Amino acid sequence: MTTTITSTVSEGGTAAGAASAAGTARPEQPNGATLRVVVVNGSPNQPSKTMGLVDAVVGTLKGMLPVQMSQIDVYRLGPGFTGAIERDDITAETTPDVEAALRLAEQADLLIAATPVFRGSYPGLFKHFFDLVDQYALANKLVLLVATGGSERHTLALDHALRPLFAFFQSMTVPVAFFASAGDFDGTVLLNPRVYGRIEMGLTDVVDLLRTRASGTSK
């Protein structure tokens, strides 16, 4: 995937004073830490426009600091997940994959909540995942909101459906959320440069905070 957007690298100072440099090597963290990013993907499709937009977000993020990304596809977690009524139904013995997925999300440095907008909101399975997540595990956690929809008429689902969900968890939700509609994609590849511009801006806002939260070890 080619983009015309250059990576922005902060040089030990404010994000606002970031120097723009094309094709810069991945910046090293002072403490060598990596940001552990976990994507909770609410799309049933493989590949999907939702993950196409996430790829653009994570691609931009990788130009700013070392990133280690994991992905949870809620539609692929299976009957042990869909049949669970409460968290206690999920155990390391009976449903190890689901247990691992929930823990991964609970322990992320940055959680990306990414979903298509279905019928005015996120799909039920996406909500079901967060119904099983520990009630206090996401408090003060950095959460980034990403959504795709058939048209721009669905943009506000970000703020009217997704944001209140993470307000309940008392998460630290990134102020700028990202939305792209069907016309911004060729297949599942995001083409619209304006969306790239918004991603660049939204991530630059919080890059310093992301650095301080990075807790992974770089290989």
Partner 1 sequence: MTFEIGIMTFGELTEDFATGAVPSPRQRVRETIEQAKLADDVGLDIFGVGEHHRSDFVGSAPAILLAAAAMRTERIRLTSSVTVLSSEDPIRVWEQFATIDLLSAGRAEIIAGRGSYTESFPLFGYDLRDYAELFREKLDLLLKIRDRNPLTWQGRFRSPLVNADIAPRADGDTIPIWVGVGGSPASAVSTGRLGLPMALALLLGPLSSHRETVELYREAAAQTGHDAAALPISINAHGYVGSTSQQARDVMYPYFAQGMLDNNHQRGEGFYLSRPTFDVQSSPGAGLLVGSSQEVVDKLLTYHQLYGLNRAILQVGFGGMPQKQHLEAIERLGTEVAPIVRREVAAREEKAA
Residues contributing to the site for partner 1 (CB under 8 A): 4, 182-187, 190-194
To partner 1, the closest distance from the beta carbon of 45 in angstroms equals: 9
CA distances from 14 to 23, 25, 219 (A): 21, 19, 27
To partner 1, the closest distance from the beta carbon of 191 in angstroms equals: 4
To partner 1, the closest distance from the beta carbon of 181 in angstroms equals: 8
Distance (Å, rounded) from C-alpha 18 to C-alpha 34? 20
Residue 123 CB contacts under 8 Å (≥ 6 apart), including other chains: 42, 44, 115, 116
Neighbours of 102 (CB within 10 A): 23
Q: By C-beta, is 194 or 219 nearer to partner 1?
A: 194
CA distances from 7 to 18, 36, 60, 118, 130 (A): 10, 19, 6, 33, 32
**7: which 2 tokens?**
């990576």
Residue 117 CB contacts under 8 Å (≥ 6 apart), including other chains: 147, 148, 149, 150, 154, 157, 161
To partner 1, the closest distance from the beta carbon of 44 in angstroms equals: 13
To partner 1, the closest distance from the beta carbon of 117 in angstroms equals: 17
Q: By C-beta, is 78 or 197 nearer to partner 1?
A: 197
